[in-house]
């Protein structure tokens, strides 16, 4: 039976002023920080929640490395079930994947070292592991040399978390997501989670989990309640205590940095006695035990620390004893949360410019995106574009003054809006609302020539891609 939704109440009833949340939202806006969702809990009750349109409560969001905290929890459950111990040697789970010559350091590598990112690698081996020509990531992991004795050096290591997923599958015969379904997802009411897999059919573990914002909040509440959910102990209190406690030092222990407070079991220690799971581009599950609070956030940011700074400045200090209700401030907050939205293009429609590209096809020069041609249809304040990658066809459509929705293989639900900047310049904004990402394409038409420039809101690489050029196919 699915768990009920978290109860809702006013911030004041739980000792937080509505104005404090408004101040947080103002700060986020002033810093031009792109958040996609926010949920603030205290003592298991939702005090404030909002989604920046076109993001919405029902949409699952890519968690990136916040997935790691869920993977570690699966290990905790397996420990509780006495299927594994954190002192178990990693090599013993995969005798069929080991190279013929194995450095002696590997004999000391344990599950705990995977959990704490202290495998002994000198640098993160993840790219080498994921780039294995034969698709065997486990075998590739053991092929990466250990430069230090396990347990001596912290190196952030997504491949280590993948190995935790591989251990769960090897021990239980179930994929990580299937192992967690009856033990975590179903009890918390997390419906239809998805998790990416490696070519060998093992969940990626260190990234790739997709769930909703409320699901993230429930997970944080489970940790705040020391592994107990609605009267049932899902994972032992002892495991939660170990996972959320500093197990190793990381970097130089800078007291001003939330990335240098120590690391637990796939959990970052924070300033102010808090801890968190987090993922690239602004995915957070912040647990504040002293305040009995949890904050779940998804976003599309290039820098992670300003969001945490805003939490510490505007929310954390404001939690206190229950306050008198403040209907006026609460109504202002509720209205603000209902009206949250990300910027939409102006939506200017240009009938003559649209007629000029309607039915036209452009052959594109070789480019990193592999686009070989673009074909346009423009009418009724909509732009439709067929992008070809050789024989592969991708249909795109954008509205003016509104988003048009479509599903794109590999990227999920996409919302696109457009505007004509002038008679020869079309701009399209695509928001991939199950991910942190958006892309803005500026298409410049000059005679038979087309130039496409693409910018991204966030990414692991450059935010601006090289220009793509094309030439119209004349049919007269």
Count Cβ atoms below 10 Å from residue 392 Cβ, excluding itself: 11
Strands 45-51 and 361-364: unpaired
Read off the pLDDT of residues 432-442 as tens digits, 9 standing for 90 and up: 999 999 999 99
Higher pLDDT, 253 or 26: 26
Read off the pLDDT of residues 330-355 as tens digits, 9 standing for 90 and up: 999 999 999 999 999 999 999 999 99
Whole-number Å distance between alpha carbons of 386 and 376 = 7
CATH H-level superfamily of 351-472:
Calycin beta-barrel core domain (2.40.128.20)
CA separation, residue 186 to residues 1, 4, 183, 191, 460 (Å): 7, 11, 7, 7, 33
Query: What is the pLDDT at residue 266?
Result: 98
Read off the pLDDT of residues 276-309 as tens digits, 9 standing for 90 and up: 999 999 999 999 999 999 999 999 999 999 999 9
Domain boundaries, the chain: 12-338, 351-472
Read off the pLDDT of residues 151-160 as tens digits, 9 standing for 90 and up: 999 999 999 9
Confidence label for 2 from pLDDT (cuts 50, 70 and 90): low
Confidence label for 253 from pLDDT (cuts 50, 70 and 90): low
Pair 420, 409: CB distance under 8 Å: no
CATH number of 12-338: 3.40.710.10
Two tokens at 447? 């005679």
Strands (E), 401-473: 404-408, 412-422, 425-432, 438-446, 449-456, 468-472
Pair 67, 195: CB distance under 8 Å: yes
Is residue 255 scored above 90 in pLDDT? no
Q: Kindly give the interhelix angle for 67-80 and 158-172, rounded to the nearest 10 degrees.
A: 40
Pair 293, 40: CB distance under 8 Å: yes
Is residue 429 scored above 70 in pLDDT? yes
């Amino acid at each position: 039976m699915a768990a009920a939704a978290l109860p809702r109440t006013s911030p004041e009833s739980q000792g937080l002023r509505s104005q404090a949340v408004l101040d947080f939202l103002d700060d986020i806006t002033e810093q031009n920080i792109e958040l996609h969702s926010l949920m603030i809990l205290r003592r298991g009750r939702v005090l404030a929640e909002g989604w920046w349109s076109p993001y919405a409560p029902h949409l699952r969001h890519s968690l990136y490395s916040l997935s790691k905290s869920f993977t570690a929890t699966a290990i905790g459950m397996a420990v509780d079930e006495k299927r594994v111990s954190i002192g178990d040697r990693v090599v013993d789970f995969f005798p069929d994947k080991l190279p013929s010559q194995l450095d002696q350091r590997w004999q000391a590598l344990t599950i705990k070292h995977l959990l704490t990112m202290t495998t002994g690698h000198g640098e993160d081996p993840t790219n080498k592991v994921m780039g294995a020509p034969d698709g065997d990531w486990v075998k590739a992991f053991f092929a990466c040399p250990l430069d230090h004795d396990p347990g001596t050096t912290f190196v952030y290591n997504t491949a280590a978390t993948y190995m935790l997923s591989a251990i769960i599958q090897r021990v239980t015969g179930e994929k990580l997501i299937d192992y967690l379904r009856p033990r975590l997802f179903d009890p918390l009411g997390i419906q239809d989670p998805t998790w990416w897999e490696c070519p060998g059919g093992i969940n990626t573990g260190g990234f790739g989990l997709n769930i909703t914002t409320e699901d993230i909040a429930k997970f944080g509440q489970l940790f705040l309640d020391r592994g107990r959910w609605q009267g049932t102990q899902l994972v032992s209190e002892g495991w939660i205590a170990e996972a959320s406690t500093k197990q190793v030092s990381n970097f130089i222990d800078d007291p001003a940095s939330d990335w240098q407070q120590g690391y637990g079991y796939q959990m970052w220690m924070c300033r102010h006695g808090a801890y968190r799971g987090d993922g690239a581009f602004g995915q957070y599950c912040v647990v504040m035990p002293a305040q009995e609070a949890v904050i779940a956030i998804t976003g599309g940011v290039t820098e992670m620390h300003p969001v945490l700074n805003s939490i510490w400045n505007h929310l954390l200090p404001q939690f206190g004893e229950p306050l008198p209700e403040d209907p006026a401030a609460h109504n202002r907050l509720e209205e603000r949360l209902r009206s949250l939205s990300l910027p939409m293009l102006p939506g200017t429609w240009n009938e003559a410019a649209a007629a000029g590209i309607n039915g036209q096809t452009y052959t594109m020069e070789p480019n990193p995106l592999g686009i070989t041609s673009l074909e346009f249809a423009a009418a009724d304040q909509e732009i439709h574009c067929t992008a070809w990658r050789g024989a592969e066809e991708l249909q795109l459509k954008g509205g003016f003054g509104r988003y048009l929705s479509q599903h794109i293989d590999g990227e999920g639900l996409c919302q696109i809006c457009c505007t004509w900047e002038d008679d020869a310049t079309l701009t399209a904004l695509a928001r991939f609302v199950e991910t942190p990402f958006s892309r803005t394409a500026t298409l410049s038409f000059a005679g038979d020539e087309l130039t496409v420039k693409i910018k991204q809101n966030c990414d692991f690489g450059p935010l601006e891609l090289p220009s793509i050029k094309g030439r119209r196919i004349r049919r007269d």
